[in-house]
Chains A and B, each alone.
Chain A
Amino acid sequence: MNKKVFLISNLIICLVYSFSSSAQVHRSELIGAYLYNFAKYTTWPNEHQLNSYHIALISENPEIIHEVKKMAASKKIRNLPIKLSILSSPSLSLQAQLIFLTREKSNYFLETFDAIEGSPTLLVSENFHDKRVVMINLYDTPDKKLLFEVNKANIINQNLSIDPEILLIGGTEIDVADLYRQSQLSLRSLQKRMDIMNDSLQLIQAKAATTSATIKKQQVKITEQEMFLEQYKEEVQRQQEELNLQLTEIGDHEILLEQQYDSILSQGNIIIQQKAEVEHRNQILKKLEQDIDDKNQDLEKKNKVLGDQTITIERQKDILFLSIAVIFLIAALAITLYREYRNNKRINIKLREQKDEIEDINEELVTTNESLSDTLSKLKSTQSQLVHSEKMASLGVLTAGIAHEINNPINFVYTGINSIRKDFEDLTLILNEIRNLPTEKDDLEQVIQKIQNLKTEYDFNEIIEIIPETISDIQTGAIRTAEIVKGLRDFSRIEKDEKHMANIHEGLESALLLLRNKYKHHITIERNFGQLPEIECLPGKLNQAFLNILSNAIDAIEEEGKIEITTYSDDDQLYVSIKDNGKGIPQNIHKKLFDPFFTTKEVGKGVGLGLAITFSIIKEHNGTIEVKSEEKRGSEFIISLPLRLDS
C-alpha cells in the first residue's frame, strides 16, 4: 500500500513538474527525486555492509547540485543516510553506490563506464546519446518532459538488481535486441560502404596498373629516344670538332695571309724609302745632267713595275677572300651531306633489322605450322587406329560366336554326307543283289532270302528312314552356312564409303545374325517392324551402329530377357528403337555414354569406343540418337535417321 501511495505521489510530482512554467528549477528538483527513487529501487549486493549510501554527483550545474544536496540531506534509503560527494571529475567517485554524471560531464561517461564495469555501482547519465552503454539515462522529451530509460543488461552486469516497478515512475526499458539490430544494420552499411570502396580501390589499382604499364612503355620509349639523342649529340659534337678543326685551319690560312700582307706592306715601305732616295739622287743627278735622263727612265721603269706589283697584290687579296668563302660553303655542304648520309644509313640499318626480325618470326611460324600439322596428322592416324582397333575388338568378340555358329552347320554337311555315303554303301550291297537277280525261280527265292538277311543285317528300314532326315539336315547346314556368310558380307560393307539405297531391316537382321550366338539361349527378340522405305546410307556403318547397340542390350541382360526392336517412320524420318529389359544405365553416367573411352566393362572387354563410334555414324547420317534408361528396368535407344540425306 505504502509503495503504491509513494508511486502515485511521485507520478503526481512528475506531472506537476513537467507542466510547470519555471521548468529549469523544477527539472532539477525532479532530478533529485529521480535519483532518490533510483537508489530506492535498486538493490546492491553488498548493501547490508553499508552504513550509508554514497552518491557521487559529477556536475557543474548549480541548480542540480543544490537540489541533490537538498534531497540527500532530507531523505534516507532503507533507514541509512545518504552520503553525497560533489565532484568535477569521476576519479574519486568509483567506490560510490550511485554515480550521476550530468549532461555537461558526458565526456567522462565512457571512461567512468569502463572503470566501474562489473563493480556494484549504478551509473546514471543525463541525455547520453549511446543507449548501448547507459544504465539509467535521464532524457528530455520534445514536449519538455523529463523521463528516463533503463538498460537492464548493463545493470545486471553490475551485479545490481532493479525493481521493475521503477518504470512506473516515468521510465522505459531500452530494447537491447533493437539496439543490436541497429548496430548490426549500421555495421552492415559500413561493410557495404567498405565493399564499394574496396571495389573502387581495385578499379583504381587496375587503372594504376595499366597506367604504370603505359608509363613503363613510355619510359622505355623515352630511354630509346634518349639513347638516340645521345648518339645524335655525339654526332653533333664530332661534327663541331671537325668544324673547329677546319676553322683553325682557316685561321692558319688567315695568319699566313696577314704575314704576306705584312711583307707586302714592308716591301711598300722599302719602295717608298727607295723612292725618297731616288728623288734625293735625282736632285743630285739633276746637278749631274748626264745621268738624269737615264736615271729618269730607270725610275719610270721601276715605277711601272711597282704599279704591276700593287695590282697583283690586290688580285691576290680578292682571290684569298673568295677562296675562304668557297671553303666555308663547301664545309657547310659537306656537313649537311654527311648528316643526311648518316641518317639514311641509320634508317637502313633499322629497316634491315626489322626485316631480319620479320624473317625470323616467319621462320618460327613456318616451323610451328609444320609441327602443328605434324601433330594433327599424328592425331588423325591415332584416331583412325583407335576406330580400327574398336572395330577389330568388336569383330574379335564376334569371332568366337561366329566360329561356333558357322562350324555347327558345316558339321551337319560334313558329317551328314559321310553318313549318307556309308548308308549308301550298305544299300549298294542290297541293290547289287537286286541288280543281279537270277532268272531261275529256285535261285530267286534263295536270293530273296539273302536280301532279307542283308536287310536285317544292315538295318535296311532304319537306313531308309535316316537318309531323308540326313539329307534335310545337310540342307539345313548348307542354308545356315549361307545365311551366316551373307550376314558377314552385309556387315563387312563397312569398307565401302559410298552411300547407296539400303534397307534398314536387312541391316538389323545381319547384326542379329552375327550376334545370334550371344543371345539365342536366353533372350527373345521381338521384331515390330513397320513399313520403311529404303534410304540412302552407308549400310556397313549403320550395321555396325546397330550391332553396337544390340550387343550392349544383350550384355545388359544377365538372365532371361527380351529385346524389342521397333521401326516406324513419318514424313521425314525413320526411327529404330532398340529396347531391352536388362539392368539399365545408372543416371549418373547417362551423360558420359557417348564419350570416347568411357566403358563400364572390365579391361579387355572393349575400349569404350562402341557408342562413341555409333554416335559419330548416326551423326554422319544427319540422324540423332536418344537414350531412355532406368536402373533395373532396362534401356531404350532410339535412332532417328532422315529419309533423305539432303534434308
Chain B
Amino acid sequence: MLFQLMGDPKPTVLYVDDEEINLRIFKSTFRRKYIVLTANSAKKGLQILKERKVNLVITDQRMPEMTGVEFLKEIQIRFPHIPPSRLMISGYSDTDAIDEAFKVCQLYRFISKPWNAQELDLIMIEAINHDG
C-alpha cells in the first residue's frame, strides 16, 4: 500500500524454489503488482542478489544442495548491509530449522504450502513495509 501511495515503482521480489512450476505460478500470480525474480536454486538466488536490488526474499526450505535456512544464512554473511525482508514457504519443515531461521536469519514469517494468493500478497506487503 505504502509503495503505491508513495508512487514508488513495483517492489522487487525474489522467489527461490527448486520446483519450476511453483516459480512459474508464483510469477503469473504476482506479476501484476511485483517485479518477480525467480531462481530454481539458492546458488542462483545469491547470484541475482548480487546483481539486483531486491525488496523481499521468499524461499522454499527443502531444496537440494542448500536448504532455505542455509540460503538465508548465506545472505546474512554475504550481504550484511542490505536488510531485505525474508519469508519462507514450504510444504513441510522441521520446527528446529524454522526456529533457527527466525532467530538468526531475520525471518519475518513462515508460510506453509499450498498458499493462498491474497493472504500471501498481504503478508508480502506487510513484510516489505515492516522492513522499509
Please report A residues at the B interface, Cβ cutoff 8 Å: 399-400, 403-408, 410-416, 418-419, 422-423, 459, 462, 466, 469-470, 473, 476-477, 517, 521-522
Contact = CB atoms under 8 A, between A and B. Distances in A.
Instruction: Rank and list the top 6 A-B pairs by shortest CB-CB distance, nearest first.
Output: A407-B91, A521-B64, A403-B92, A404-B91, A411-B114, A414-B114
Contact of A416 (B25, B31, B91): B25
A404 B29 CA distance: 21
B62 A412 contact: no
Find the residue from A404, A423, A477 having the highest chain B CB count within 10 A: A404
A404 B90 contact: yes
Q: Is the interface of B mostly helix, strand, loop or mixed?
A: loop
B22 to A, nearest CB: 6
Given A415-B114, A418-B29, A405 B91 contact: yes
B114 A473 contact: no
B48 to A, nearest CB: 21
B4 interface: no
Contact of B91 (A408, A462, A476, A477): A408
B29 A422 contact: yes
A407 B31 CA distance: 23
A412 B92 contact: no
A473 B92 contact: no
A410 B113 contact: yes
Nearest to B62: A404
Contacts of B91: 403-408, 411
A413 B115 CA distance: 11
Interface of B: 18-19, 21-22, 24-26, 28-29, 31-32, 62, 64-65, 90-92, 94, 112-117
Nearest to A409: B21
A466 B28 CA distance: 7
A390 to B, nearest CB: 21
Given A408-B22, A522-B64, 15 more contacts: A403-B91, A403-B92, A404-B92, A407-B114, A408-B21, A411-B91, A412-B25, A414-B115, A415-B25, A415-B29, A418-B117, A422-B29, A423-B28, A473-B25, A476-B21
User: Most A CB atoms within 10 A — which of B32, B62, B65, B114?
Assistant: B114
Contacts of B21: 408, 412, 473, 476-477
B117 A415 contact: yes
A412 B117 CA distance: 12
A399 B117 CA distance: 26
B29 A419 contact: yes
Looking at chain A's contact residues, is the secondary structure mostly helix, strand, loop, or mixed? helix
Contacts of A473: 21, 24-25
Nearest to A403: B92
13 contacts: A399-B92, A400-B94, A404-B62, A407-B114, A408-B19, A408-B91, A412-B22, A412-B25, A414-B114, A415-B29, A415-B114, A473-B24, A473-B25
A517 B29 CA distance: 26
A419 B112 contact: no
Given A416-B25, A473-B24, A477-B21, A411 B115 contact: yes
A546 B62 CA distance: 25
Contacts of A470: 24-25, 28
A400 B29 CA distance: 27
A466 B30 CA distance: 13
Contacts of B26: 415
A461 B67 CA distance: 36
B62 to A, nearest CB: 5
Contacts of A466: 28
B56 to A, nearest CB: 17
B113 A422 contact: no
Given A414-B114, A415-B115, A418-B117, A407 B25 contact: no
A53 B91 CA distance: 116
B113 A419 contact: no
Nearest to A416: B25
A404 B94 CA distance: 11
Contacts of B31: 459, 462
Nearest to A480: B21
Contacts of A416: 25
Contacts of A404: 62, 90-92
B92 A400 contact: yes
B32 A422 contact: yes
A464 to B, nearest CB: 12
Contacts of A410: 113-114
Contacts of B117: 415, 418-419
Contacts of B62: 404, 517
Nearest to A406: B91
A521 B122 CA distance: 33
B131 to A, nearest CB: 24
A413 B25 CA distance: 9
Contacts of B29: 415, 418-419, 422
Nearest to B25: A415
A406 B114 CA distance: 9
Nearest to A410: B114
Nearest to B20: A473
